[in-house]
């Protein structure tokens, strides 16, 4: 997309261009006025240098603004498709397991044997068995509420049992029947209009039900997924903070099959399924920014090949945000304004702008020195012009500095927003995963064999073995569990899924959660242990999910416990949401946690933070309301981190209406820099208000400069000029304060370090430091000397009344200061005075004694 076209939508970029255009007009005027001055001040090179630099922050500003919006679209589109695919992965496991359900098999076998009989007794038995199976389907959907209907077909396509009594279908012609009977895969996944669902587009998972002894197909089981309901839930959560974004699910041809804005982008619309280089498209006469993404998949499953799609109108894509949540965060302000944390390319822009301004300052400073040394002192126009040039240069530099700071702030805000969003994704993944665990324990508690066997007071060894085989089969399909066990009404373990835990058979469970499970009143209730070390998990921390097993009279006869394999499962959830580099590795220094409200760690991608340990995160994180997200800067282990956190809020009835409460917080960390960097950042030099002459007061022109953060002065008449980028040549037998010599005006000039004279340990840096060449009358001879300083400052005209010379009584013979400038008000200089250095004294004490002939030195 053409740059000018993009800028037309970006108000922040337009403001930057407007500011620079205004400054450009100023430079035009100053260049014209400079050519008219008596010192021939030419600012055209400075203006060109700033204009040449302009393109760098402009491009970065455009890129940052564009990337921020595109990243948001990408994150939401990716989350939409990946959350759905994770859900559908569980559905593929459901159909595979439920199609082997003994109750369904027995019903189909019964129908096959009874198909030739028409007796009233058998007809009544058929009705009873059908009603029992319908009730079993209802129990299943009550727990796995992602399904709207369960349909059992015979091999001819006739409907035998279904949960939806309002569905008039009696026989199907849908090709999924034949596919389900013939497939060599573990399931058939169908999305299209079907006569099984009133001929509306539906997502159906189906598979054949077979006789386990002969492998003969007895029928086909169909699970009808709540497709529209699930997508509505996903879209609502992802668009609640930015309603201008429209999310869609596309098929491989780009046809919309689900939309967050069905009136704006109806199902059946055609959108771009592939990304163009500009990510710009037209829809319904308007221009949009969009992003289309494929799923990253889950455990090898990639679904039906659908595409996540997000789009936003171009005129709303790059709106400025107030970021009010960060406006009162002092740590964010500190990090955002500390240049040490800036990316190198932003530091380079600042360095270039500072270099241009420094060279301009030297030109202006030297111009003022030239005026001070001129025979004609009456030149207020030129002095005012030089002042205005310096101010305009400083103003231009500040625009660059502010723009770069804004860029860094925007980058940090993007980090925080991304972490906040990813933390919400992490906790959503966890809630959805544990929703399935709560469903599993309640459903498996309804296993007919468990109910029949545990209804007996005594169990035969073969009955325990049969229950163990069922548990082992379930565990082989559901590998998210470390182990499973069944216990009787006394809390004694009767069967386990893992042979390594066989020694637990015959022992009491010994935990309160088992007793609590035995007291549950309905098939919808369940009990979860605390997240604690468990003997069923090698004494590592985990959750154990429990449900009550009842006989067919409804009496509690035992319970089932399923041990979640928490360490790898939680770790995988966190690993999946952390940003990766091109090699697929987690970006250096980033880590993520699941913690409870006490800060106790459930999982960590940082090996140094142990599960079960406690981490101090502060009230803003640990007291987050359920479902709310938060982002901030935090200091941790000597580093500043961008942090994003979200507290769990459940999924469907899980943690909403099922009585279970367990608030977990997902927290993501991204390193920014060492805490010491902000502390070491150079303090800003204060503003100085010089005494102003009035009327015909006598004045003295001075030139000021900084050593560190302290301001000094020298009389302008003693200054020749200031220089930068000077190479120093070391010399033998020189004062410890002598840095070496430079070549100037066909002579060698010694350079003294004023920083060393102040006791500061500082090396000369030719790229940053300035050398002021001064002159002194020594024994009737005009000699030159260089003074290395940190930065030149200004050239004010000071009234003599404000200059206090040291008296002979107070003046130390070795003092290198000859006078001080007293401010009109103490606060004008920050309660300090400005020292005027004594150039002849510096030369006499630090240069002249070392300037004897070499023969005398050698003697």
Q: What are the φ and ψ backbone dihedral angles of 703, each rounded to 5 degrees?
A: -125, 125
Q: In this structure, how many other beta carbons lie within 10 angstroms of the beta carbon of residue 526?
A: 26
Same domain, 485 and 551: yes
Q: CB within 8 A of 328, min separation 6: which ones?
A: none
Q: Is the model's pLDDT at 490 over the cut of 60?
A: yes
Question: How many CB atoms lie under 10 A from the CB of residue 428?
Answer: 25
Residue 210: partners with Cβ closer than 8 Å, 6 or more residues away: 99, 105, 216, 217, 218
pLDDT band at 813 (very low <50, low <70, confident <90, very high): low
User: How high is the pLDDT of residue 379?
Assistant: 64
Q: How confident is the model at residue 54 (pLDDT cuts 50, 70, 90)?
A: confident
In this structure, the answer to whether residues 199 and 252 fall within a common structural domain is no
Structure confidence at residue 682 as a pLDDT band (50, 70, 90) = very low
pLDDT at 855: 32
Q: How far apart are CA 29 and CA 23, in angstroms?
A: 10
Report pLDDT for 252: 94
pLDDT of residue 116: 67
The packing angle between helices 44-98 and 344-373, to 10°, is 170
Given a cut of 80, is residue 342 above it in pLDDT?
no
- Whole-number pLDDT of residue 679: 53
pLDDT of residue 808: 47
One domain, residues 170 and 293: no
**Best mean pLDDT range from 310-314, 356-360, 399-403:** 310-314
Contact (Cβ atoms closer than 8 angstroms) between residue 728 and residue 742 = yes
CA 71, CA 419: separation in Å to the nearest integer? 12
Q: How far is CA 571 from CA 429, 567, 605, in A?
A: 12, 6, 7
Q: What's the confidence (pLDDT) of residue 853?
A: 44
Which two tokens mark 579?
A: 């940003």
308 and 216 within one domain: no
| Domain co-membership, 154 together with 240 | no
Residue 17 binned pLDDT confidence (cut-offs 50, 70, 90)? confident
Mean pLDDT, range 14-41, rounded to an integer: 73
Cα(174)–Cα(172) distance, rounded to whole angstroms?
Answer: 5
Going by C-alpha positions, the residue among 377, 434, 403 that lies closest to residue 701 is: 377
Dmax over Cα atoms in the chain, in whole Å? 139
Distance between CA atoms of residues 139 and 137, nearest Å: 5
Name which residue leads in pLDDT, 832 or 104.
104
| Average pLDDT score over residue span 603-607 | 96
Tell me the sheet residues that pair with 221: 152, 207
What are the contacts of 157-165 at 24+ separation with CB within 8 A? Answer: 160/107, 160/108, 160/111, 160/130, 160/219, 161/107, 161/130, 161/133, 161/134, 161/137, 162/134, 162/137, 163/134, 163/137, 163/138
pLDDT over threshold 90, residue 79: yes
CB 536, CB 544: distance < 8 Å: yes
CB 399 within 8 A of CB 354: no
Residue 562 lies in a domain: yes
Geometric angle at alpha carbon 12, from 353 and 412, rounded to 5°: 75
Residue 454 or residue 686, greater confidence: 454
What is the 3-state secondary structure of 20-37?
HHHHHHHHHHHHHHHHHC
Q: Span 188-208, mean pLDDT?
A: 97
State how far the Cα of 716 lies from the Cα of 794, in Å rounded to an integer.
Answer: 11
How far, in whole angstroms, is CA 736 from its chain's centroid? 52
Q: Does residue 344 fall inside a structural domain? A: no
**Do the Cβ atoms of 432 and 650 come closer than 8 Å?**
no
Task: Please check whether residues 105 and 177 belong to one and the same domain.
Answer: yes
Contact 567, 540 (CB under 8 A): yes
What count of other Cβ atoms lies within 10 Å of the Cβ of residue 17?
A: 15
Pairing of strands 834-837, 710-715: parallel
Where does a domain end: 552, 568, 584?
A: 568
pLDDT at site 745: 86
Domain-embedded: residue 656: no
Contact between residue 432 and residue 87 where contact means Cβ atoms under 8 Å apart: yes
Q: How far apart are CA 440 and CA 140, in angstroms?
A: 10
Question: What's the Cα-to-Cα distance from 305 to each of 87, 254, 301, 511, rounded to whole Å?
Answer: 15, 11, 10, 46
- Going by the DSSP 8-state scheme, the letter that residue 651 receives in this structure is B
Asked if the model's pLDDT at residue 78 lies above 70, the reply is yes
Cα 184 to chain center, whole Å?
Answer: 43
Burial 213-239 (b: 16+ CB within 10 A, else e): eeeebbbbbbbbbbbbebbeebbebbb
| 3-state SS string for 463-530 | HHHHHHHHHHHHHHHCCCEEEEEEEECCCEEEEECCHHHHHHCCCECCCHHHHHHHCCCCCCCCEECC
For 750-784, the pLDDT digits (tens) are 999 998 888 888 888 988 899 999 998 888 888 89
Residues 237 and 209 occupy one common structural domain:
no
Percent of the chain residues topping a pLDDT of 90: 59
Residue reference for tokens 């993404």 = 293
How much is the pLDDT for 809?
41
Verify that 310 and 207 share a domain, yes or no. Answer: no
The answer to whether 654 and 435 have CB atoms below 8 angstroms apart is yes
Task: Name residues whose C-beta falls within 8 Å of residue 528's C-beta, 6 or more positions apart in sequence.
Answer: 438, 513, 543, 544, 545, 546, 660, 662
* pLDDT tops 70 at residue 522: yes
Query: Which pLDDT belongs to residue 828?
Result: 63
Number of independent structural domains in the chain: 4
Instruction: Report helix, strand or coil for 132.
Output: helix
Residue 359 in domain: no
Same domain, 214 and 236: no
CA torsion sign, 162 to 163 to 169 to 175? negative
pLDDT reading at 846 higher than 50: yes
Q: Are residues 271 and 305 in the same domain?
A: yes
Collapsing DSSP states into helix, strand and coil, what is residue 763? coil
Which of 42-46, 201-205, 548-552, 790-794 bottoms out in mean pLDDT, i.e. has the lowest? 42-46
Cβ count within 10 A of residue 148: 18
Please report, for the domain that includes residue 177, its CATH number.
Answer: 3.30.450.20
The backbone torsions φ and ψ at residue 105, rounded to the nearest 5 degrees and listed phi first, read -60, -45
Average pLDDT over residues 164-169: 94
Q: In this structure, what token pair is assigned to residue 259?
A: 């939309």
User: Residue 494 sits in which domain range?
Assistant: 445-568
Other C-beta atoms closer than 10 Å to the C-beta of 53 total: 19
Q: Tens digit of pLDDT for each residue in 617-646?
A: 999 999 999 999 999 999 999 999 999 999
- Rounded to whole angstroms, how far apart are CA atoms 236 and 255? 21
* Measured distance CA(127)–CA(112) in Å, rounded: 15
Gap between the Cα atoms of 128 and 166, Å rounded: 20
Residues 294 and 188 in one domain: no
Say how many C-beta atoms besides its own lie within 10 A of residue 271's C-beta: 20
On whether residue 334 sits in a domain, the answer given is: no
- Same domain flag for 218 and 234: no
Assigned domain for 244 exists: yes
Whole-angstrom distance, CA of residue 328 vs CA of residue 333:
8
Average pLDDT for residues 724-739, to the nearest whole number?
86
| The domain boundary residue, chosen from 224, 259, 286 | 224
Kindly state the average pLDDT of the residues 700-727.
90
Q: Alpha carbon of 521 to those of 516, 524, 555, 611: distances in Å?
A: 10, 9, 9, 34
| The token pair that represents 380 in the structure block | 């207020």
Q: Is residue 748 part of a domain?
A: yes
User: Mean pLDDT in the chain?
Assistant: 88
Q: For 347-360, what is the mean pLDDT?
A: 80
Is the pLDDT assigned to residue 856 strictly greater than 60?
A: no
Distance of alpha carbon 209 from alpha carbon 196, whole angstroms: 18
Q: At residue 33, does pLDDT exceed 80? A: no
DSSP string of 532-586?
EEEGGGTTEEE-EEEEEEE-TTS-EEEEEEEEE-HHHHHHHHHHHHS-B-TTSPB
Whichever domain contains 751, its CATH number is: 2.40.50.180
Q: CA–CA separation, 494 vs 533, rounded Å?
A: 22
Q: What is the pLDDT of residue 816?
A: 85
Q: What does the pLDDT read at residue 9?
A: 84
Residue 684 pLDDT exceeds 60: no
Residue 23 contacts by C-beta under 8 Å, 6 or more apart in sequence? Answer: 50, 392, 395, 396, 399
Give the length of the chain.
Answer: 859
Q: Using 50, 70 and 90 to split pLDDT, how confident is the model at 38? A: low
- 615 in a domain, yes or no? no
Given pLDDT bands bounded at 50, 70 and 90, which one contains residue 323? Answer: very low
* CA-closest candidate to residue 545, choices 572, 514, 504: 514
Give the C-alpha separation, 241 to 308, whole Å.
18
**Of the candidates 508, 534, 568, which is a domain's last residue?**
568
- Compute the distance between CA of residue 822 and CA of residue 801 in angstroms, rounded to an integer: 9
Give the residue from 328, 326, 335 showing the smallest Cα distance to 635: 335
> CB of 818 within 8 A of CB of 754?
no
Averaged pLDDT for residues 785-808: 85
């Amino acid at each position: 997309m053409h740059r000018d076209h993009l800028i037309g939508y970006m108000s922040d970029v337009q403001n930057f261009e407007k500011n620079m255009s205004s400054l450009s007009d100023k430079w035009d005027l100053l260049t014209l006025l400079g050519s008219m001055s008596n010192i021939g001040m030419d600012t055209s090179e400075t203006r060109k240098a700033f204009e040449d630099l302009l393109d760098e922050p402009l491009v970065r500003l455009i890129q940052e603004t564009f990337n921020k919006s595109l990243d948001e679209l990408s994150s939401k589109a990716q989350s939409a498709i990946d959350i759905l695919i994770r859900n559908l992965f569980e559905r593929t496991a459901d159909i595979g397991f439920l199609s082997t359900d003994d109750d369904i098999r027995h019903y189909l076998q019964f129908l096959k044997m009874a198909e030739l009989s028409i007796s009233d007794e058998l007809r009544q038995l058929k009705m009873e068995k059908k009603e029992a199976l319908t009730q079993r389907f209802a129990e299943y959907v009550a727990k796995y509420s992602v399904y709207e209907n369960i349909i059992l077909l015979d091999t001819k396509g006739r409907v035998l049992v279904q949960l939806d009594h309002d569905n008039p279908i009696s026989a199907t012609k849908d090709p999924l029947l034949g596919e389900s009977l013939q497939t060599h895969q573990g399931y058939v996944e169908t999305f299209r209009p079907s006569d099984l669902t009133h001929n509306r587009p539906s997502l159906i998972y189906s598979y054949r039900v077979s006789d386990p002894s002969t492998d003969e197909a007895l029928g086909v089981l169909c699970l009808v997924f709540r497709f529209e309901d699930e997508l509505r839930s996903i879209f609502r959560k992802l668009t609640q903070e930015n309603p201008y974004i429209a999310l869609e699910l596309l098929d491989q041809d780009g046809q919309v099959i689900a939309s967050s804005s069905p009136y704006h982008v109806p199902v059946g619309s055609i959108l771009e399924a592939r990304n163009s280089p500009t990510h710009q498209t037209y829809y319904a006469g308007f221009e949009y920014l969009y992003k289309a993404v494929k799923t990253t998949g889950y455990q090898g499953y990639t679904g039906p090949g659908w595409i996540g799609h997000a789009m936003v109108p171009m005129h709303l894509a790059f709106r400025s945000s107030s970021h009010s949540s960060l406006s009162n965060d002092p740590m964010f302000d500190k990090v955002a304004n500390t240049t040490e944390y800036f990316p190198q390319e932003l530091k380079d822009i600042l360095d270039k702008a500072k270099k241009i301004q420094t060279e301009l300052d030297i030109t202006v400073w030297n111009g003022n020195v030239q005026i001070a040394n001129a025979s004609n002192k009456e030149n207020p126009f030129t002095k005012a012009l030089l002042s205005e040039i310096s101010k305009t240069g400083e103003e231009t530099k500040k625009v660059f500095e502010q723009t770069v700071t804004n860029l860094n702030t925007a980058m940090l805000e993007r980090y925080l927003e991304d972490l906040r969003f990813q933390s919400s994704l992490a906790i959503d993944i966890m809630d959805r995963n544990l929703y399935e665990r709560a469903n599993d324990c309640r459903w498996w508690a309804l296993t007919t064999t468990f109910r029949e066997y545990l209804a007996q007071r005594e169990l035969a060894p073969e009955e325990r073995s049969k229950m163990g085989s069922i548990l082992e089969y379930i565990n082989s399909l559901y590998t998210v569990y470390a182990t499973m066990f069944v216990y009787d009404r006394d809390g004694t373990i009767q069967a386990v899924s893992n042979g390594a835990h066989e020694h637990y058979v015959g022992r009491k469970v010994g935990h309160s959660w088992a007793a609590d499970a035995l007291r549950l009143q309905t098939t919808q209730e369940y009990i979860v242990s605390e997240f604690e070390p468990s003997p069923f998990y090698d004494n590592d921390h985990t959750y154990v999910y429990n449900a009550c097993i009842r006989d067919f009279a409804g009496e509690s006869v035992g319970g089932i416990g399923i041990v979640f394999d928490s360490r790898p499962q939680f770790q995988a959830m966190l690993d999946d949401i952390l940003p990766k580099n091109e090699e697929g590795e987690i970006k250096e220094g980033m880590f993520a946690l699941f913690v409870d409200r006490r800060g106790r760690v459930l999982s960590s991608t940082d090996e140094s933070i142990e599960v079960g340990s406690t981490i101090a995160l502060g009230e803003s994180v640990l007291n987050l309301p359920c479902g709310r997200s938060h982002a901030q800067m935090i200091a941790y282990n000597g580093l500043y981190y961008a942090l994003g956190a979200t507290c769990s809020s459940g999924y469907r009835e899980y943690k909403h209406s099922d009585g279970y409460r367990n608030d977990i917080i997902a927290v993501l960390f991204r390193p920014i820099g060492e805490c010491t960097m902000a502390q070491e950042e150079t303090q800003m030099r204060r503003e100085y208000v010089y005494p102003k002459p009035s009327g015909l007061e006598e004045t003295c022109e001075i030139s000021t400069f900084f050593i560190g953060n302290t301001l000094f002065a020298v009389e302008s008449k003693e200054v020749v000029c200031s220089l930068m980028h000077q190479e120093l040549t070391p010399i033998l037998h020189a004062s410890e304060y002598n840095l070496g010599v430079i070549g100037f005006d066909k002579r060698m000039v010694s350079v003294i370090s004023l920083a060393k004279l102040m006791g500061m340990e500082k090396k000369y840096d030719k790229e940053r430091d300035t050398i002021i060449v001064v002159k002194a009358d020594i024994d009737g001879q005009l000699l030159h000397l260089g003074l290395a300083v940190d930065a030149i400052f200004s050239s004010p005209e000071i009234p003599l009344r404000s200059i206090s010379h040291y008296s002979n009584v107070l003046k130390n013979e070795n003092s290198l200061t000859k006078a001080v400038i007293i401010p009109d008000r103490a606060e004008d200089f920050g309660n300090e005075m400005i020292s005027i250095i004594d150039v002849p004294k510096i030369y006499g004490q630090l240069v002249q004694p070392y300037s004897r002939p070499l023969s005398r030195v050698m003697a």
